[in-house]
Amino acid sequence: MGKAHSNAWKKAPEFFEMSTRPVLNVACGRHETSLKEFADKWGWEETETDWKKMVKRPDIDIIDIAVPQNLHYEIALAAAKEGKHIFCEKPMCMNLTQAKEMLKACEENKVTHYLNHNYRRNPAVALAKQMIDEGLLGNLFHWRGAYQQDWIVNADFPLTWQLKKEIAQAGPQWDLNSHSVDLAHYLVGDIQTVSCLTANFIKERPLAEEATSGNLKAEAKGTGKGAVTVEDAALMMVRFKSGAIGSFEATRFATGRRNHNTFEIYGSRGSLLFDQERMNELQFYSHDDPEGRQGFKTILATDPSHPFMKNWWPSGHNIGYEHSFVHAVVDFIKAIEEGKTIAPNFEDGVKIIKVLEAGIKSAETGQMVVLE
Amino acid sequence: MGKAHSNAWKKAPEFFEMSTRPVLNVACGRHETSLKEFADKWGWEETETDWKKMVKRPDIDIIDIAVPQNLHYEIALAAAKEGKHIFCEKPMCMNLTQAKEMLKACEENKVTHYLNHNYRRNPAVALAKQMIDEGLLGNLFHWRGAYQQDWIVNADFPLTWQLKKEIAQAGPQWDLNSHSVDLAHYLVGDIQTVSCLTANFIKERPLAEEATSGNLKAEAKGTGKGAVTVEDAALMMVRFKSGAIGSFEATRFATGRRNHNTFEIYGSRGSLLFDQERMNELQFYSHDDPEGRQGFKTILATDPSHPFMKNWWPSGHNIGYEHSFVHAVVDFIKAIEEGKTIAPNFEDGVKIIKVLEAGIKSAETGQMVVLE
Amino acid sequence: MGKAHSNAWKKAPEFFEMSTRPVLNVACGRHETSLKEFADKWGWEETETDWKKMVKRPDIDIIDIAVPQNLHYEIALAAAKEGKHIFCEKPMCMNLTQAKEMLKACEENKVTHYLNHNYRRNPAVALAKQMIDEGLLGNLFHWRGAYQQDWIVNADFPLTWQLKKEIAQAGPQWDLNSHSVDLAHYLVGDIQTVSCLTANFIKERPLAEEATSGNLKAEAKGTGKGAVTVEDAALMMVRFKSGAIGSFEATRFATGRRNHNTFEIYGSRGSLLFDQERMNELQFYSHDDPEGRQGFKTILATDPSHPFMKNWWPSGHNIGYEHSFVHAVVDFIKAIEEGKTIAPNFEDGVKIIKVLEAGIKSAETGQMVVLE
Amino acid sequence: MGKAHSNAWKKAPEFFEMSTRPVLNVACGRHETSLKEFADKWGWEETETDWKKMVKRPDIDIIDIAVPQNLHYEIALAAAKEGKHIFCEKPMCMNLTQAKEMLKACEENKVTHYLNHNYRRNPAVALAKQMIDEGLLGNLFHWRGAYQQDWIVNADFPLTWQLKKEIAQAGPQWDLNSHSVDLAHYLVGDIQTVSCLTANFIKERPLAEEATSGNLKAEAKGTGKGAVTVEDAALMMVRFKSGAIGSFEATRFATGRRNHNTFEIYGSRGSLLFDQERMNELQFYSHDDPEGRQGFKTILATDPSHPFMKNWWPSGHNIGYEHSFVHAVVDFIKAIEEGKTIAPNFEDGVKIIKVLEAGIKSAETGQMVVLE
């Protein structure tokens, strides 16, 4: 994530017009050697191993929180108190109580807060939002989302921090469904009821020596065994306030699905399909098309008229995963400059965590949870 | 359905080796004129408007039940008592009590019973079964099924019998999820728990003058309004006895989906994807493939080595919807000849209805139902 | 082909309204035993091993020619002289001289002639024609066709009749490009210039004992070796009279392509894509769509409004390879009844053979051929 | 192109290990104001409007040529004489004579030369090369390439420099087929014969006021009319030295195709399909797969084991168009450091131009050209 964020801060002013150019001031991390290396590579001016010192520096305006979720709460609170604007990775935090306090701290200290559900700023997804807002889908009936990965299908994959409740709080319900619920809120609306079912397919895994940097998934090596304390997969069924219904499927056991973040939205006038593995495409069905000429149309969302795209390449030239981070930086800086909010933010985060927590509760009781 | 069944009885012995050739003896229906026309067209030797008389005829060995589900119970019971073998359309009947009695009657009278969940005999689906049985998917983790249609999205579509509880018992939960649950039983195994959510998007519709024959969907015309008494969409989450989990989505409001019967199955060694709108294809991912060479492979299931296909056309020449009915006739006749059972049958039907009923109950209570 | 034709004659009046119902009168073939078996299976009333006798029978109105192309000329001439209407398999014959005589004989004897380039009556292809005629593609710029198969990739596949010039005249140039050129004529227009390149990848093959019936491809077995005397692949580049340009690729060496008959047509207002392996689909791009909403749309050509489809199944229910033969029978019988021509016929066949022959000549000389 | 190149020089050392870090020393361009703006944005240290001065500066090691092709020759020659290494955009130059001299100048001056046919360094394409080299395709039979765009379909699109022979030399034959021929050389081998057909669909266009910077395509505005002096589309058929045959289709009139650079390669053991609009995917068919389990497999080339990918994001996270430029920079710098050649270079360029020129000649004469 350090890589994706550093890249975004640097590329934003190269590809977009920005009146304020972000400065890569201080890189913060626990391990001095690897931190220095990272900072050198990416052009961070200084390094710091104590985040508490960093948030107090008067020469810093923005804190970018890109650490595991168990640390978000503490850092965000401290940063907000120091009047720093916050760019925060997802999932937001460990529970609803934390989320509400984080939001409150930002509001009280009048800082700009952004929660990095980056897929909203994928051009094809932003296009979906435009089309829904224009009414091209009519009344929405269905959300059908799935966020499927397969990185822990092998039983000898080690017990990394993502599989431990004390650090991660939950498995794909937190990591993946947070993204999907954000998109559902963004595109369909608020959720009213939640039913959830979870599964744990592999209950024990080799212990991992936590790597100090880099890709934990690849480098971790097992020594002994320990219990997996988060779920491996989480399904949800929801009813939206609008009357639409939705389903969610988040899993790390969908063999063959590397990062298959998909949704289908069906409405009275049309439908949309999206798949992050073909992230430059959006499929659109229009019920308004003449009889016999109807079908799902694959829009390659790389035209200059598509959101964010006139700043990149000519039509038909794809962008990649990291570009949505650049878009987030552009909008975040603009929000700070103009003193406006940016979405998704901690208010959206509170709503997401509420749904995810309700899901965990429903999975435990077998009962549908009605959100207040 | 009369068309699809008549066609199947006739084509079966033309394309397949059969020691017994079915005779199209008596066509039965309520409306004499249209019945005669139909019988002439398809070469039925005689017609009959009273099914009670027909099931007693000694010159008939098989009763093919292709009427709305509220009539299945009565006809099947009478046919079984007369020692007729039964080829029965789905959904099997109105409730679990009926289903159990239908099964019992067939067993007591030692007749062959077949429940026409025809998709099992789609070559690509039969291939999926083969591959799972060979162990190519390993331990199964996920079933993700959806059966999506869009034929009642328009609010002025009339209140046909499929939308009335007294005839149809339920909406897509009965009509579509019965198919999906059958496939899940077939491919993944028995279901242990069921949670369900339903929705009704359009609560009143123009009254239909029930057409006397042909495609009700197209011909019905509204006069006045009446209440829709079945659900428009039904979602389910299930836990299988094996520990796998599954989701189902059945709807008539997925705009753009004409007959989108799909499933995804993920296992420890591989995965399969199917979509009835591309019914000649099966997608397969093998975790055993070498690193860097992995991906979903589209098998065009039209090779002579694929189930049922050596009797049709050369490789690469597609078959259509009706061919699975032909395959069912071939296997049904063979089962009768050999005195063996054929699947799916009323025993499978009992299990399906049990799941569907549990779903309806769960939708009412918001609580997960554990099947005995 | 006997199977596909017999099936078509029988199914046509079951699925379509026809005032004349075809009678399966006499099945003709060389091998009495297998012929009888075939006739029994399909309900042919009589059999005949001498086609010269058959064409003279006064009780026969139609001759259906479904034998290798080296026999078409002689049979068609005899049949025409006897006043029989002709339903003729493709490729039409061995050369342009034959083709012109066949046409002349039919015209002089005023018989209806039909050349079975069946893909025209695939609903998705007929829809393409409709859309082009409606002007939805504007002025056409490009035809890009490919008909790719892979049934002789293995070097031990035997030397069946399709690989011998004396029976087949040519390889995929005749067998496959005849289909593609027919579609190009139908959808784009007449061809003016032809450049062609052919290749022969495997020059000798095991001799085949010609099987007397059934699927030669599967059953033939090699004994000794013989020379392949037709090309294995044929590429063409053409200029149409309209100014559009086109390319053709016909091969039996496209490993993985079972029956991949595809085309792309690009015009000033829109474009169409078709692939016979997904024969129920047509892709359409409309340049008239609003900016940012453009893309290729997959039309599932199974709606009642699509050509031929209201006689089959509800929307979303696929048809297969053989259905286009049924449509041909329906239109052929109608043409006879009404005394009108049907297309494609021998006139179209003459034009096709002219292009194919020009291609063979161009391949020999390396020079573009301008058609008169 | 300035954007894509600047980005590549900067990103390369951030994402890859490089012992030499490129310095963005001098940006060169004709228009001082826009040049300064560009240099500021991208962090170029200095600017220069006279390229002749720039190539003589002793503090510069590399010249990156990203101007229209009519200027490549002169700049490359001057740069080579000064001992500068050359990173040159495609198409290489205006004709074979220039190409040969450019190569000679580099060889004599012992400078590293790279010709930016960037698609070779698209991970999915590099994977294709690996797989072919491993023998997974066996003997190659067919190359079927198409590079289709649609940016000049509208008749009111102005006469930009790309449509003028004096600057561009040719149309898609130069611009697009140069890429395709490079890929065919890379993946299949050398070409022996060339037949070509070109078309010009719109012969006159509004004059463009050439914009001084930015996207010409979008900004140019018409005043009066002028003749289009390059072809709009170019088809080629070739025979490779190996005996394989190939087809090429390059056009700016494939309505709906934004940047549809595709190829199909068929061999005796397997086949590969690629489409730049889905640039992270490679389709692979293996004839070695067991019977009944064969099909085209979509490899999402984003795994760490795929070429270049371990330096980017986790599996399933796409990269975009510009990433191949970064890969080129990494390999180019390494080649300079190690004193080795990099491909494609001017030697490859000479071979490409030879094919393209032969194509133009063949299109004029209607005759196949045999390359020496």
Which residue type is seen at D264?
E
Q: Which of residues 88-147 of C touch A (CB under 8 A)?
A: 127, 131
**Can you tell me the distance from the alpha carbon of D356 to that of B221, in angstroms, rounded to the nearest whole number?**
65
Q: Do D235 and C247 touch (CB under 8 A)?
A: yes
**Can you tell me the distance from the alpha carbon of D318 to that of A320, in angstroms, rounded to the nearest whole number?**
5
Task: Choose among C72, C4, C78: nearest CA to C38.
Answer: C4
Q: Do D266 and C247 touch (CB under 8 A)?
A: no
The answer to whether D248 and D145 have CB atoms below 8 angstroms apart is yes
How is the beta sheet containing C85-88 ordered, strand by strand? Answer: C62-65, C85-88, C113-115
At B221 the pLDDT is 55
At C260 the pLDDT is 98
Q: Do D305 and B292 touch (CB under 8 A)?
A: yes
Pairing of strands C204-208, C222-227: antiparallel
Overall residue count recorded for chain C in this entry: 372
The answer to whether D200 and D210 have CB atoms below 8 angstroms apart is no
Q: Do B318 and C314 touch (CB under 8 A)?
A: no
Q: Do D295 and B293 touch (CB under 8 A)?
A: no
**Can you tell me the distance from the alpha carbon of D249 to that of D239, in angstroms, rounded to the nearest whole number?**
15
At A1 the pLDDT is 83
Question: Which of A42, A312, A322 is nearest residue D313 as measured by Cβ atoms?
Answer: A322
At B210 the pLDDT is 58
Question: Which of C150, C239, C270 is nearest residue D197 as measured by Cβ atoms?
Answer: C239
At B372 the pLDDT is 84
**Can you tell me the distance from the alpha carbon of C113 to that of A70, in angstroms, rounded to the nearest whole number?**
79
Q: What is the pLDDT of residues D134-155, one digit of tens each?
A: 999 999 999 999 999 999 999 9
Q: What is the pLDDT of residues A194-221, one digit of tens each?
A: 999 999 999 999 998 754 444 444 444 5
Mutate to test the interface with D, among C151, C195, C296 (most CBs of D within 10 A): C195
Minimum CA–CA partner of C367 in chain D: D367
User: Could you tell me if A315 lies within 8 Å of chain C, comparing CB atoms?
Assistant: no
Residue B178 tokens read as 């019965």
List all chains that touch chain C, counting a touch as 3 or more CB pairs closer than 8 Å. A, B, D
Q: What is the pLDDT of residues C186-219, one digit of tens each?
A: 999 999 999 999 999 999 999 987 544 444 444 4
The answer to whether B259 and C315 have CB atoms below 8 angstroms apart is yes
Concatenating the DSSP letter of every residue in A79-135 gives HHHTT-EEEEPSS--SSHHHHHHHHHHHHHTT--EEE--GGGGSHHHHHHHHHHHTT
**Can you tell me the distance from the alpha carbon of C39 to that of B38, in angstroms, rounded to the nearest whole number?**
26
Q: Which residues in chain A have Cβ-Cβ distances shorter than 8 Å to C291?
A: 303, 305
Alpha helices in chain C (DSSP H): 2-15, 32-42, 51-54, 72-81, 96-108, 123-133, 165-168, 172-175, 177-187, 216-219, 323-338, 346-365
3-state secondary structure (DSSP) of residue D48? strand
Q: Which residues in chain C have Cβ-Cβ distances shorter than 8 Å to D368?
A: 195, 197, 366-367
User: Could you tell me if C61 lies within 8 Å of chain B, comparing CB atoms?
Assistant: no
Question: Which of D141, D144, D253 is nearest residue C141 as measured by Cβ atoms?
Answer: D253
Q: Do C4 and B313 touch (CB under 8 A)?
A: yes
User: Could you tell me if B294 lies within 8 Å of chain D, comparing CB atoms?
Assistant: yes
Residue A298 tokens read as 């694959």
Question: Which of A7, A258, A304 is nearest residue D14 as measured by Cβ atoms?
Answer: A7
Q: Do D151 and A14 touch (CB under 8 A)?
A: no
3-state secondary structure (DSSP) of residue B165? helix
Size of interface B-C (CB pairs under 8 A): 96
Residue D350 tokens read as 């000479």
Phi, psi of C112 (to 5 degrees): -75, 130
Which residue type is seen at C250?
A
Alpha carbon B330 to its chain centroid, in Å, reads 17
**Can you tell me the distance from the alpha carbon of A356 to that of A174, in angstroms, rounded to the nearest whole number?**
7
Q: Which of residues 341-370 of D touch C (CB under 8 A)?
A: 366-368
* Least Cα separation, residue A160 to chain C (angstroms): 42
Q: Which residues in chain C have Cβ-Cβ distances shorter than 8 Å to D153?
A: 268, 287
Task: Choose among B236, B244, B16, B283: nearest CA to B138.
Answer: B244
List all chains that touch chain A, counting a touch as 3 or more CB pairs closer than 8 Å. B, C, D
User: Could you tell me if C270 lies within 8 Å of chain D, comparing CB atoms?
Assistant: yes
User: Could you tell me if A296 lies within 8 Å of chain C, comparing CB atoms?
Assistant: yes
Q: Do B295 and D295 touch (CB under 8 A)?
A: no
Residue A35 buriedness (CB in 10 A; 0-12 / 13-18 / 19+): buried
User: Could you tell me if B252 lies within 8 Å of chain A, comparing CB atoms?
Assistant: no
Is the Cα torsion angle C186, C187, C192, C198 positive or negative in sign?
negative
For residue C24, pLDDT beyond 70 = yes
User: Could you tell me if B267 lies within 8 Å of chain A, comparing CB atoms?
Assistant: yes
Q: Calculate mean pLDDT across residues B262-280.
A: 98
Task: Choose among D79, D148, D90: nearest CA to D114.
Answer: D90
At D223 the pLDDT is 63
Pairing of strands C62-65, C85-88: parallel
Q: Which residues in chain C have Cβ-Cβ distances shorter than 8 Å to D244?
A: 199
pLDDT band at D217 (very low <50, low <70, confident <90, very high): very low
At A208 the pLDDT is 82
What is the rounded average pLDDT for all residues in chain B? 95
pLDDT band at D372 (very low <50, low <70, confident <90, very high): confident
Q: What is the pLDDT of residues A38-68, one digit of tens each?
A: 999 999 999 999 999 999 999 999 999 999 9
pLDDT band at B171 (very low <50, low <70, confident <90, very high): very high
Go through A360-369 and write b for each residue having 16 or more CB atoms within 10 A of its CB, e for each that does not: bebbeebbbb
Q: Do B303 and C257 touch (CB under 8 A)?
A: no
User: Could you tell me if C275 lies within 8 Å of chain D, comparing CB atoms?
Assistant: no
At C151 the pLDDT is 97
What is the rounded average pLDDT for all residues in chain A? 95
ipTM: 0.95
Mutate to test the interface with A, among D153, D175, D322 (most CBs of A within 10 A): D322
The answer to whether B147 and B260 have CB atoms below 8 angstroms apart is yes
Minimum CA–CA partner of D316 in chain B: B295
| β-pair partners for B85 | B62
Any idea what DSSP says for residue C265? E
Termini Cα distance of chain B: 34
Question: Which of A292, A300, A306 is nearest residue C306 as measured by Cβ atoms?
Answer: A292
Q: Which residues in chain D have Cβ-Cβ distances shorter than 8 Å to A278?
A: 278
Rounded to the nearest 10 degrees, what angle do helices C2-15 and B2-15 cross at?
Answer: 160
CA distances from D132 to B86, D265, D269 (A): 56, 10, 10
Minimum CA–CA partner of A139 in chain B: B201
Q: Do A298 and C300 touch (CB under 8 A)?
A: no
pLDDT band at A91 (very low <50, low <70, confident <90, very high): very high
Q: Do B14 and C41 touch (CB under 8 A)?
A: yes
Q: Do A260 and D316 touch (CB under 8 A)?
A: yes
Task: For residue B21, count other CB atoms closer than 10 A to its CB.
Answer: 12
For residue D210, pLDDT beyond 70 = no
At C221 the pLDDT is 55
Which residue type is seen at C177?
N
Question: Which of B215, B315, B321 is nearest residue C318 as measured by Cβ atoms?
Answer: B321
Q: Which residues in chain B have Cβ-Cβ distances shorter than 8 Å to C280?
A: 277, 318
* Least Cα separation, residue C284 to chain A (angstroms): 8
Q: Do D291 and B297 touch (CB under 8 A)?
A: no
**Can you tell me the distance from the alpha carbon of D266 to that of D283, in angstroms, rounded to the nearest whole number?**
12
3-state secondary structure (DSSP) of residue B310? helix
Rounded to the nearest 10 degrees, what angle do helices D32-42 and D2-15 cross at?
Answer: 20
The answer to whether C195 and D195 have CB atoms below 8 angstroms apart is yes
**Can you tell me the distance from the alpha carbon of A66 to that of A4, in angstroms, rounded to the nearest whole number?**
10
Percentage with pLDDT > 90 across chain D = 95
Minimum CA–CA partner of A317 in chain D: D321
| β-pair partners for C195 | C237
User: Could you tell me if B153 lies within 8 Å of chain A, comparing CB atoms?
Assistant: yes
Model confidence pTM above 0.90? yes
Go through D46-61 and write b for each residue having 16 or more CB atoms within 10 A of its CB, e for each that does not: ebbeebeebbeeeebb
Q: What is the pLDDT of residues B202-226, one digit of tens each?
A: 999 999 875 444 444 444 455 689 9
Is the Cα torsion angle A73, A76, A77, A78 positive or negative in sign?
positive
Percentage with pLDDT > 70 across chain A = 96
In the block, tokens 């998705």 appear at: C124
* Least Cα separation, residue B23 to chain C (angstroms): 13
**Can you tell me the distance from the alpha carbon of C245 to that of D195, in angstroms, rounded to the nearest whole number?**
14
**Can you tell me the distance from the alpha carbon of D223 to that of D203, in angstroms, rounded to the nearest whole number?**
16
Size of interface A-B (CB pairs under 8 A): 139
Q: What is the pLDDT of residues A244-296, one digit of tens each?
A: 999 999 999 999 999 999 999 999 999 999 999 999 999 999 999 999 999 99
At A188 the pLDDT is 98
Go through A76-113 and write b for each residue having 16 or more CB atoms within 10 A of its CB, e for each that does not: bbbbbebebbbbbbbbbbbebebbbbbbebbeebebbb
**Can you tell me the distance from the alpha carbon of B240 to that of B209, in angstroms, rounded to the nearest whole number?**
43
User: Could you tell me if D9 lies within 8 Å of chain B, comparing CB atoms?
Assistant: no
At C114 the pLDDT is 98
For residue C72, pLDDT beyond 50 = yes
Any idea what DSSP says for residue C69? G
Mutate to test the interface with B, among C255, C277, C278 (most CBs of B within 10 A): C277
pLDDT band at D28 (very low <50, low <70, confident <90, very high): very high
For residue C277, pLDDT beyond 60 = yes
Q: What is the pLDDT of residues D91-145, one digit of tens each?
A: 999 999 999 999 999 999 999 999 999 999 999 999 999 999 999 999 999 999 9
* Least Cα separation, residue B367 to chain C (angstroms): 34
For residue A152, pLDDT beyond 50 = yes
* Least Cα separation, residue D305 to chain A (angstroms): 12
For residue C85, pLDDT beyond 60 = yes
